[in-house]
Structure 1
Amino acid sequence: MYTNMLLHLSTLLNKQQKQYLIDISILNQFSYKLVLDKSSYFVIKINSYDKIIKVEQCCFNNSGQLYSIFFTGKTAKSLCHTILTKNHLNIILSNDHAAYLGRELIKSELAVLLDQKYIQD
C-alpha cells in the first residue's frame, strides 16, 4: 500500500519524506501494536536559547499534496492541548500517534529545561 502511495507522491516529496513513508511501512510490518497515521507526521525541534518547543505537523491531503501546520509553546502540556483539542483541518490522530506525540513533547520539554540536545525518536 505504501509503495503505491510512494510512487504516486514521489514527485511531490523530498528524500526525508519518502524515507518516512518507507519507515512507516517497515514499522507496521514488524510492530502489530504500533499504528502510525498515514495522513500526517510530526517534526519536533527545540530552541534552547528562547526555551521554545517547535512542532511542525506535516499533512498529506487527498490529492497527495503536502502542507504543514506549525505550533510553538513552552510546555508539553500546552502544546498537547493545542494540537489534540483543536481540530486543525479535520486531521484526526490515532491513539498511538497521540501517545507518541505526548512522549516526544515531554522529552523535548525536559531537553529545554535541562539545556540538553533533543533527538526525536
Structure 2
Amino acid sequence: MDLIVDDLTTIDNKLSQRHIDLDPAGYFIIYLDLHERLIYAKHFTNVIDERGLAVDPETGKVIPARGKVERTQTTVFSGRTAKELCVKIFEETQPCPVSFLDHAAYLGREFVRAEVALVMEKEYVQD
C-alpha cells in the first residue's frame, strides 16, 4: 500500500511542476473555514501580458506566484463540497470565470483536496 501511495505522490509532484498557460479569465485563491465548515474560492481578474505573466489590470504590475499580494477579489464563492462549488462556478455563474479547460480541471482537483481536508479537519494548502 505504501508503495502505491509513494508512486502516486511522485507522479502528482512531477505533474505539479509542468508549465501551464495562465487563464486570461483570472485565478482563484482557495481556502477553508473549519469553523464554518466551508470551502472558499476567491476569484481575481488578471491580464496576461506578452511574456505570459499575469498582470494586475488596475496597476499593470506583474502578480507574483508566491507571497502576499494585496488585491480585491471580484467574487467569493463558497460551498460545503467540491461539487457544490463546481456547480456554482461552472454552471450558475455567467459569464463563467474560467475560460481554459485545464484550469477547470485543476480547480476540480483542488476543490476535492480541500473537501477531504475539511472532512478530516486538516490543513489545506493550495497546489
Which residue number corresponds to residue 46 of structure 1? 32
Root-mean-square deviation over aligned CA pairs: 2.3
CA shift for structure 1 position 52: 0.6
Q: Report deviation, 1:75.
A: 0.4
Task: Point out where structure 1 has 5 or more consecutive residues left out of the alignment.
Answer: 1-26
Determine if contact 1:60/1:67 at 8 Å carries over to the other structure: no
Give the ranges of 4+ consecutive aligned residues of structure 1 lying more than 4 Å apart after TM superposition.
none
User: 1:59 Cα deviation (Å)?
Assistant: 1.1
Q: SS where residue 70 of structure 1 aligns? A: strand
So what's the TM-score if we normalise by structure 2?
0.62
Q: Percent of aligned positions with the same letter in both sequences?
A: 31
The match for 1:118 is 124
How many angstroms does 1:120 deviate by?
Answer: 0.1
TM-score, normalised with respect to structure 1: 0.64
The structure with the largest alpha-carbon Rg is 2
Q: Give the match's secondary structure for 1:80.
A: helix
Distance in 2 of aligned mates of 1:56 and 1:41: 8
Pick closer, same or farther for the CA change 1:105–1:92 going to 2, 3 Å: closer
How far the C-alpha of 1:87 sits from its partner, in A, is 3.6
How many pairs align? Answer: 90
Superposed counterparts of 1:23-38, under 5 Å: 31=19, 34-38=20-24
Worse-superposed segment, 91-100 or 40-49? 91-100
CA contact (8 A) 1:35 1:96 kept: no
Aligned twin of 1:69:
75
Structure 2: gaps of 5 or more residues:
1-16, 48-55, 59-71
